[in-house]
């Protein structure tokens, strides 16, 4: 392991935030030659996590990627706290299978929840080791030493001091965790719980930051993939009937690379590659494998399913039969795209017995295993390095693009940089799956929710990337199990005190539909669209204010915390929903919702305007509260809440993947509109800080609440319930027309 880190320091070029010029990258790469053996670093060694340098800075080796969510600021904060070192002295490096530890991939908003404790322990162990060294150096027992800003001194005698850099500077600890290093009590925190500025912002605004789409290696060819415009069904992968290479004769710099049904072009000049990919005549066998988006929900309702009871208690059937008030709410929820602002890009340099792949994957170790299989190399001969692309919000085409780059490089015998085009990223995404759901809820005369049942239909997530399918005819397969790819028992009414409850998952066959994977807060927006409207329906039937009704049916303090925080931010005053209807052209409404993804708590209020003549909905104000336990950097979580609320508004009002019987037709920002500046709401984020609770996720946990709030706001404004989203103008007008 020492050889890897020494190469890293000799290269000196892999610290995030520092501009990576072509030559510096080449130097770093050249210093390593072929990928070094990459046995996974030992997680119980201090050196796996931290290096202290003679210039009084430290490098923290984390396994969580900077996706734009601030991980490379917040995790160093945790280390800074335990080490008593200023946070601006701690840097991170690009994730790299030869350098950084495996913390399990960057998803489920787990960077702080799962990564935090590991970093905290490692930093505490390092501090203990440094204090032991200082005790020897200063001939003073540890319990008479104090540390501040990386300087260890004898208590009461600041002249007897030594710095971290002096103690170990650039040398290895060579120490395993003692298991006895104490972490700081929360009451002594000086850094965690504050909001130091993001480390990456300054370089990002000045053009010094190097995104994946801007990285390069010497001698690389530019590449583009050639696929049908828009995918068909996952299980009916496109087949090439003919490739007419003469069609790009006029672009002599470009050459076709083909492996079975995988087609791409490479060229030294980027524009040549772009032109050639569009000009190349390829005839595809594009079967009619899809139901078409117009017929999607009927198809999903009629399709064969595998049923599983996800949660059950009490006797729902009996309770529904005998209840005073019973309501139903359905949801038709669309496929939605990740649509990263910068389409995915990857660089691969595949040699005879080793490979380097640079990309924006969420999991470098998992990707390495897959690449090794595709390239027929040993995993420890494949090196994967992470460069931040644009925000990905889940499993966009990052792995597909990495695989494609690797396939092209192996065939070309040269390094290849592959940039997905806008239509590639939109058309071949692993979408957030469509969902058909029905919630039934019942209350007694006193306003207590006594029964709840939910049926949800969707398919699971794909495990085979398109490049793999095309080049190797690898069969389309779905991820087993239910988990987050099925209906989520935490989002579905878990916050309410309901004695009789049943949640049933109906799994569709994913091979007959579009590719699916996790999209920020997977399925939850569809779930609360139905569920929180059902809860609201009960409140309305009973003529109770929606906030008051929820308060009466929630016992959990933390759920009440976010519910009340959102309501308070919105200055919510009691009023029964839809009790203030107007026939004006523009009507206003407000709604409230609660929801989560996993372990955190989300509450939201939405204030909207509806134009009854055009059907246009505008979110005017959104309020979102998250309780994520101990929040390391509240400023970053406020930004996350803001982004989540905007994205939820976009997904509830505008976003929908459309497709005909052969292919997806949402291929650019015109055919897949998202929320823009002119319709963007004012946003109030609230962090419900709980310093004595375990940290949990904050990257997606208020979206479900906001989805419910927006749907409920529409009812408040119009007296009409929407069954389908996005709530586009034409759907709104149709719903308003249908209603008396």
Question: Interface residues with another protein (CB under 8 A)?
Answer: 19, 21-22, 67-70, 197-198, 200-202, 204-211, 213-214, 269-271, 274, 339-343, 388-391, 393, 419, 421-422, 635, 639-640, 642-647, 650, 668-670, 674-678, 680-683
Question: Could you give the angle at which helices 634-653 and 524-541 cross, rounded to 10 degrees?
Answer: 80
26 or 162: CB nearest another protein: 26
Alpha helices, DSSP H, located in 139-188: 164-168
64 or 393: CB nearest another protein: 393
152 or 645: CB nearest another protein: 645
| SS3 state at 210 | coil
Give the residue among 387, 409, 389, 401 at the shortest CA–CA distance from 28: 387
Within 10 angstroms of residue 158's Cβ, the number of other Cβ atoms is: 11
Helix (H) or strand (E) holding 299: helix 296-302
232 or 697: CB nearest another protein: 697
Least CB distance to another protein at residue 632 (A): 15
Distance CA 650, CA 679 (A): 9
Residue 705 in contact with residue 602, Cβ under 8 Å?
A: yes
Least CB distance to another protein at residue 107 (A): 16
252 or 480: CB nearest another protein: 252
**DSSP class of residue 66?**
-
Phi, psi angles (nearest 5°) of residue 169: -10, 105
Least CB distance to another protein at residue 77 (A): 14
Least CB distance to another protein at residue 342 (A): 5
Least CB distance to another protein at residue 422 (A): 4
Distance CA 312, CA 485 (A): 19
Least CB distance to another protein at residue 68 (A): 3
201 or 739: CB nearest another protein: 201
168 or 639: CB nearest another protein: 639
Least CB distance to another protein at residue 651 (A): 10
243 or 674: CB nearest another protein: 674
305 or 618: CB nearest another protein: 618
Least CB distance to another protein at residue 425 (A): 9
Distance CA 62, CA 50 (A): 9
Distance CA 457, CA 451 (A): 21
Least CB distance to another protein at residue 671 (A): 10
486 or 697: CB nearest another protein: 697
List all residues 6 or more positions away from 405 whose beta carbon is below 8 Å from its beta carbon.
223, 346, 347, 348, 357, 359, 416, 417, 418
Least CB distance to another protein at residue 626 (A): 15
Least CB distance to another protein at residue 336 (A): 12
Least CB distance to another protein at residue 388 (A): 7
Site of tokens 């929040």: 631
19 or 369: CB nearest another protein: 19
548 or 679: CB nearest another protein: 679
Least CB distance to another protein at residue 640 (A): 8
Residue 333 in contact with residue 526, Cβ under 8 Å?
A: yes
Least CB distance to another protein at residue 526 (A): 19
Site of tokens 């900077």: 66
Site of tokens 């460069």: 387
207 or 480: CB nearest another protein: 207
Alpha helices, DSSP H, located in 481-631: 524-541, 546-553, 557-569
Helix, strand, coil: what percent of the chain each, to 5? 35, 25, 40
Distance CA 525, CA 707 (A): 6
SS (H, E, C) 397-460: CHHHHHHHHHHHHHHHCCCEEEECCHHHHHHCCCEECCEEEEEEEEECCCCCEEEEEEEEEECC
Least CB distance to another protein at residue 312 (A): 37
| SS3 state at 681 | coil
210 or 578: CB nearest another protein: 210
649: left (phi over 0), alpha (psi -120 to 50) or beta: alpha
Distance CA 447, CA 540 (A): 11
CA distances from 16 to 12, 331, 388 (A): 11, 43, 10
421 or 657: CB nearest another protein: 421
CA torsion sign, 420 to 421 to 427 to 431? positive
Least CB distance to another protein at residue 191 (A): 17
User: Is cis: bond before 726, omega within 30 of 0?
Assistant: yes
List all residues 6 or more positions away from 215 whose beta carbon is below 8 Å from its beta carbon.
20, 25, 345, 347, 358, 387, 417
Distance CA 267, CA 261 (A): 20
CA torsion sign, 388 to 392 to 393 to 398? negative
Least CB distance to another protein at residue 361 (A): 15
Within 10 angstroms of residue 670's Cβ, the number of other Cβ atoms is: 7
253 or 561: CB nearest another protein: 253
Q: What is the dihedral of CA 636, 637, 638, 643, to 10 degrees?
A: 90
270 or 308: CB nearest another protein: 270
17 or 232: CB nearest another protein: 17
Within 10 angstroms of residue 31's Cβ, the number of other Cβ atoms is: 14
Least CB distance to another protein at residue 206 (A): 6
Site of tokens 């989300």: 602
Site of tokens 């064969």: 304
Distance CA 689, CA 396 (A): 31
């Amino acid at each position: 392991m020492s050889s890897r880190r020494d190469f890293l320091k000799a290269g000196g070029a892999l610290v995030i935030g520092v501009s990576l010029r072509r030559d510096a990258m080449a130097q770093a790469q050249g210093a390593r030659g072929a990928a070094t053996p990459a046995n996974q670093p030992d997680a119980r060694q201090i050196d796996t996590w931290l290096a202290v340098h003679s210039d009084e800075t430290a490098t923290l080796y984390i396994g969580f990627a900077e996706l734009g969510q601030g991980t490379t600021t917040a995790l160093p904060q945790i280390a800074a706290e335990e080490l008593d070192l200023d946070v601006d002295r701690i840097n991170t490096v690009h994730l790299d299978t030869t350098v950084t530890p495996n913390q399990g991939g960057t998803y489920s908003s787990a960077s702080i929840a799962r990564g935090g404790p590991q970093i905290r322990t490692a930093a505490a162990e390092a501090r203990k080791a440094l204090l032991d060294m200082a005790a020897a150096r200063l001939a003073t027992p540890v319990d008479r030493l104090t540390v501040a800003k990386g300087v260890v001194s004898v208590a009461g005698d600041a002249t007897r001091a030594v710095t971290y850099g002096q103690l170990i500077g650039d040398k290895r600890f060579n120490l395993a965790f003692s298991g006895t290093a104490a972490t700081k009590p929360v009451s002594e925190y000086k850094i965690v719980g504050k909001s130091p500025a993001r480390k990456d912002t300054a370089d990002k605004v000045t053009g010094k930051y190097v995104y994946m789409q801007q990285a390069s290696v010497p001698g690389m060819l530019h590449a583009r993939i050639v696929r049908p415009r828009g995918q068909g069904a996952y299980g009916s992968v496109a087949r090439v009937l003919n490739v007419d290479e003469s069609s790009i004769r006029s672009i002599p710099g470009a050459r076709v690379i083909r492996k079975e049904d995988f087609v791409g072009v490479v060229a030294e000049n980027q524009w040549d590659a772009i032109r050639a990919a569009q000009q190349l005549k390829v005839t595809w066998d594009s079967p009619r494998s899809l139901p078409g988006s117009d017929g999607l929900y009927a198809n999903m309702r009629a399709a064969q399913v595998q049923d599983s009871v996800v949660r059950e208690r009490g006797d729902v059937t009996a309770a529904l039969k005998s209840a005073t008030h019973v309501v139903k709410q359905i949801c038709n929820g669309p496929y939605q795209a990740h649509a990263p602002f910068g389409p995915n890009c990857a660089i691969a340099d595949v040699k005879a017995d080793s490979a380097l792949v640079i990309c924006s994957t969420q999991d470098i170790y998992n990707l390495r295993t897959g690449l090794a299989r595709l390239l027929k190399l040993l995993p420890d001969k494949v090196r994967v390095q992470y460069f931040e692309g644009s925000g990905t919000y889940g499993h966009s085409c990052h792995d597909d693009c990495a695989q494609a780059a690797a396939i092209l490089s192996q065939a070309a015998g040269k390094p290849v940089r592959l940039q997905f085009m806008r239509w590639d990223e939109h058309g071949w995404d692993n979408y957030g799956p469509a969902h058909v759901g029905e919630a039934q809820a019942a209350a007694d005369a006193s306003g207590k929710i006594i029964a709840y049942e939910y049926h949800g239909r969707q398919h699971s997530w794909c495990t085979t990337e398109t490049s793999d399918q095309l080049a190797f005819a690898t069969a389309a397969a779905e991820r087993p199990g239910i988990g987050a790819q099925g209906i989520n028992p935490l989002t579905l009414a878990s916050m309410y005190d309901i004695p009789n409850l049943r949640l049933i998952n109906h799994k569709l066959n994913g091979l007959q539909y579009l590719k699916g994977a996790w999209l920020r807060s997977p399925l939850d927006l569809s779930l609360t669209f139905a569920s929180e409207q059902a809860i609201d329906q009960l409140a309305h039937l009973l003529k109770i204010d929606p906030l008051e009704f929820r308060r009466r049916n929630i016992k959990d303090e933390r759920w009440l915390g976010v519910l009340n925080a959102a309501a308070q931010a919105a200055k919510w005053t009691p009023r029964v929903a839809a009790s203030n209807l107007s026939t004006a052209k523009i009507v206003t409404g407000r709604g409230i919702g609660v929801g989560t993804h996993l372990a955190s708590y989300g509450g939201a209020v939405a204030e909207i305007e509806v134009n009854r003549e055009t059907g246009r909905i505008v979110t005017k104000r959104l309020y979102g509260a998250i309780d994520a336990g101990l929040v390391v950097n509240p400023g970053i979580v406020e930004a996350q809440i803001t982004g989540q609320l905007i994205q939820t508004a976009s997904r509830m009002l505008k976003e929908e993947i459309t497709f005909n019987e052969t292919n997806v037709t949402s291929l650019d920002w015109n055919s897949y509109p998202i929320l823009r500046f002119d319709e963007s709401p004012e946003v109030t984020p609230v962090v419900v800080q709980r310093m004595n609770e375990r940290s949990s996720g904050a990257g997606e946990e208020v979206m479900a609440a906001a989805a419910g709030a927006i749907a409920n706001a529409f009812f408040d404004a119009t007296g009409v319930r929407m069954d389908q989203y996005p709530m586009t103008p034409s759907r709104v007008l149709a719903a308003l027309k249908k209603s008396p």
